[in-house]
Amino acid sequence: MVSGLDEALTFVLELDRLKSVERRTPLLDGSRCETDAEHSWHVATAALALADYAPAGVSLPRVIAMLLIHDIVEIDAGDTPLYEEHGDQEDREQRAADRLFGLLPQARGAELRALWDEFEAGESADARFARALDRFMPLLHDIRTGGGSWTRTPGLTVGAVRARVSVIERGSPELWAYAQRVLDEAVERGYLLA
C-alpha cells in the first residue's frame, strides 16, 4: 500500500520535470530561454514585489500558490507559446491536471486542483491578479531583450499582443497602464507591427 507521504513525494519528484520545459521567453541576459520552473519562481517572487498593485482584498499567499502551480500541467501538455494558436491546449492541460494532481493524496490533490482551476477560470480577484502577473512578466522580458519572443513570431502586431495580455487590466489597472507604455515602446522600436 502506498502511503500519503509516498504519493506526495511522487508528485514532488514529478515536479522536477518542469525544469526541462522550455518557454519562448528569453532570460534578460539573452543567453537562452527560461524554463517553466524558472518562470513560475520568478512570477511568484514578482507577486511579493508587486503586491502593492493588487486590488484590495487580494490574498497574496493564495496568489503565490497559484503562480507556483499554474504551469505544472505543462510537464505533460508542453508549453504553448503565448502568441501562437492554442489548438487543443485546454484538453491537453485538463488531462495533465487530472494525472498530476491525481498523484497526490486525494484531499491535497483536490485542494491544489481547485486552486489551479481557479487560476484557469480567472474569475476571483486572486486569480485575476495572478493571471495579470503571469502575462506581465513576459512583457518585461520581451521589451528588455530587444523584442524577445515577439521577434520569434513573424508578423506579430501590437493588437494581437494586447489581446493576449488584456487579462492584465482586470487584475491590476496599474500594471495594465505600464503594459500599455511597454507596448507603445515596442512599436516605436520596431519589435511589434502597429
C-alpha cell at 41: 519562481
Percent of the chain with pLDDT over 90: 92
Give the long-range contacts of residues 82-86, CB within 8 A, separation 24 or more: 82/24, 82/135, 82/138, 82/149, 82/164, 82/165, 83/149, 83/150, 83/153, 83/156, 83/160, 83/161, 83/164, 84/153
Q: How many CB atoms lie within 10 A of CB 50?
A: 19
Query: What is the enclosing helix (H) or strand (E) of 24?
Result: strand 22-26
163 or 86, greater pLDDT: 163
Which residue is listed with cell 500558490?
A: 65
68 CA to centre of own chain: 9
**CATH class of the domain comprising 4-188:** mainly alpha
58, pLDDT greater than 70: yes
Q: Averaged over 65-87, what is the pLDDT? A: 92
Q: What are phi and psi of 78, to 5 degrees?
A: 75, 165
Q: Averaged over 152-162, what is the pLDDT? A: 93
The confidence band for 1, taking pLDDT boundaries of 50, 70 and 90, is low
Sequence length of the chain is: 194
Q: Averaged over 8-19, what is the pLDDT? A: 98
The confidence band for 159, taking pLDDT boundaries of 50, 70 and 90, is very high
2, pLDDT greater than 80: no
Instruction: Please provide the average confidence, as pLDDT, over all residues in the chain.
Output: 96
Closest by CA to 136, choosing from 194, 193, 183, 68, is 183
Every domain of the chain and the residues it spans: 4-188
85, pLDDT greater than 90: no
Inter-residue contact 83 to 153 (CB < 8 Å): yes
191, pLDDT greater than 90: yes
Residue 22 β-bridge partners:
35
